[in-house]
């Protein structure tokens, strides 16, 4: 591979088909039983040569470019794993952002894994699955899922992944209200809710289908943000076979049998400050194909620097 070329990796978003909170852990996190599903909506990560210390840029000016950005932290972790000293050098990481931040769609976490894969290829490190897994676990609880994609059961902090057979493909509408929800706050709201329910006793240990969507964080988030419950109702009235909040919100999704039905619902729900878009489940093999670093001639125009 010539060094003048760039590398491109896709970073697909996820939804949580179900998210059950089993209880608090001594480390302050919560034990979860959650089913992740990757979807077609994606960011794209590019890496290209650059003189001097690593540069991180993004198409969305709201995305931080320093250590507040998980991509930046992922790049540093890969650099350290390569046993190099100091700060990452000689590379420009550019994020083409489409997944809204703070929406429960895992955009930052997926970008982090795509960056790990891109830099592993760029620096020719050959990091194996356990090494990538270790870095992913250190970056955030829902980061390791993005090493797998498809349908996956998340246990422990959500970071212990059991790949499941892909759910049948579904169309979905994502509705993004004009506010974000902090994940830490959503879990705190859950802890302070009354009455406390012994969640573990109610978990059905069956392989999930899309029919029984339950998100334990949804009632506590919806009680602070009534828009969540309103959007869920409108999705169901618009023909969704099921609808729920993803992760800690604020995005709400509805499942639809056809693309046309999904598009009609999206048209109905866009507005009032909410954005709505149609997407589709992506199975594990398509996800992993898209995660493979691909050589491209250069960064997209928007990513040029200097």
CB of 29 to ligand C5P, least distance (A): 4
Q: What is the DSSP string of the chain?
A: --TTSEEEEEEEEEEEEEEEEEEE-TTS-EEEEEEEEEEEEEEEEEEEEEEEE-EEEESSTTS--STTSHHHHHHHHHHHHTT--SS-EEEEEEEE--SPTTSSS-HHHHHHHHHHHHHHHHTT----HHHHHHHHHHH-TTSGGGGT-SEEEEETTTTEEEE-PPPPP-EEEEEE-S----HHHHHHHHHT-SS---HHHH---SPP-TTS--BTTHHHHHHH-HHHHHHHHHHHHTT-SEEEE-TTSS-EEEEESSHHHHHHHHHHHSBTTBEEEEEEB--HHHHHHHHS-EEESS--GGG---
Binding segment (CB under 6 A) for ligand C5P, from list 83-91, 179-187, 236-244, 252-260: 179-187
Binding segment (CB under 6 A) for ligand C5P, from list 26-34, 126-134, 269-277, 296-304: 26-34
Interface residue with ligand C5P, options 30, 73, 94, 117 (CB under 6 A): 30
- Nearest to residue 255, comparing CAs of 268, 265, 247? 265
Interface residue with ligand C5P, options 63, 141, 147, 176 (CB under 6 A): 141
Query: Does 184 help bind ligand C5P (rule: CB under 6 A)?
Result: yes
CB of 132 to ligand C5P, least distance (A): 17
CB of 94 to ligand C5P, least distance (A): 23
Query: Does 179 help bind ligand C5P (rule: CB under 6 A)?
Result: no
CA geometry: angle 13, 19, 22, nearest 5 deg: 140
Q: Which residues of 264-280 are buried (b: 16+ CB within 10 A; e: fewer)?
A: bbbebbeeeebbbbbbe
Residue 142 is among the residues annotated as catalytic for this protein: yes
Toward ligand C5P, which CB reaches closer, 116 or 235? 116
Within 155-174, which residues bind ligand C5P (CB under 6 A)? 157-158
The Cα 102–Cα 106 span in angstroms is: 8
Q: Number of residues in contact with ligand C5P, rule: CB under 6 A?
A: 11
Query: Does 180 help bind ligand C5P (rule: CB under 6 A)?
Result: no
Could you say which of 14, 97, 120, 216 is catalytic? Answer: 14
Residue 60 is among the residues annotated as catalytic for this protein: no
Query: Does 29 help bind ligand C5P (rule: CB under 6 A)?
Result: yes
Could you say which of 43, 111, 120, 142 is catalytic? Answer: 142
Interface residue with ligand C5P, options 32, 48, 161, 261 (CB under 6 A): 32
Binding segment (CB under 6 A) for ligand C5P, from list 135-143, 206-214, 260-268, 292-300: 135-143
Interface residue with ligand C5P, options 88, 103, 107, 140 (CB under 6 A): 140
Toward ligand C5P, which CB reaches closer, 214 or 286? 214
Toward ligand C5P, which CB reaches closer, 251 or 274? 251
Binding segment (CB under 6 A) for ligand C5P, from list 5-13, 137-145, 238-246, 274-282: 137-145
For binding to ligand C5P (CB under 6 A), which residues are involved? 29-30, 32, 140-142, 157-158, 183-184, 187
Residues designated catalytic: 14, 142
């Amino acid at each position: 591979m010539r060094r003048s070329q760039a590398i491109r990796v896709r970073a697909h978003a996820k939804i949580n088909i179900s998210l059950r909170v089993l209880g608090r852990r001594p480390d302050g996190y919560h034990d979860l039983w959650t089913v992740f599903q990757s979807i077609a909506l994606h960011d794209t990560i590019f890496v290209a040569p650059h003189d001097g210390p690593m540069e991180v840029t993004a198409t969305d000016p709201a995305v931080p470019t320093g250590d507040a950005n998980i991509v930046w932290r992922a790049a540093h972790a890969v650099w350290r794993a390569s046993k190099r000293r100091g700060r990452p050098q000689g590379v420009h990481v550019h994020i083409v952002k489409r997944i809204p931040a703070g929406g429960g769609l895992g955009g930052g976490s997926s970008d982090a894994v795509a960056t790990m894969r891109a830099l592993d290829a760029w620096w020719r490190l050959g990091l194996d699955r356990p090494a990538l897994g270790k870095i992913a676990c250190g970056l955030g609880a829902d980061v390791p899922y993005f090493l797998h994609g498809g349908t996956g059961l998340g246990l422990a902090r959500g970071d212990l992944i059991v790949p499941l057979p892909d759910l049948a493909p579904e169309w979905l509408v994502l509705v993004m209200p004009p506010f974000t929800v902090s994940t830490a706050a959503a879990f705190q709201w859950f802890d302070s809710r009354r009455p406390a329910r012994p969640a573990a006793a109610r978990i059905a240990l069956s392989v999930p289908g899309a029919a029984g969507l339950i998100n334990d964080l949804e009632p506590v988030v919806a009680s602070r943000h009534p828009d969540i419950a309103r959007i869920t109702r409108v999705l169901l009235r618009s023909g969704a076979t099921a609808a729920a909040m993803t992760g800690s919100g604020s995005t709400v999704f509805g499942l639809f049998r056809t693309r046309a039905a999904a598009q009609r619902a999206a048209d109905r729900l866009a507005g009032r400050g909410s954005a709505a878009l149609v997407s589709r489940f992506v199975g594990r093999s398509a996800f992993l194909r898209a995660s493979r670093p691909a050589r491209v001639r250069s960064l997209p125009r928007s990513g040029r620097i200097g």
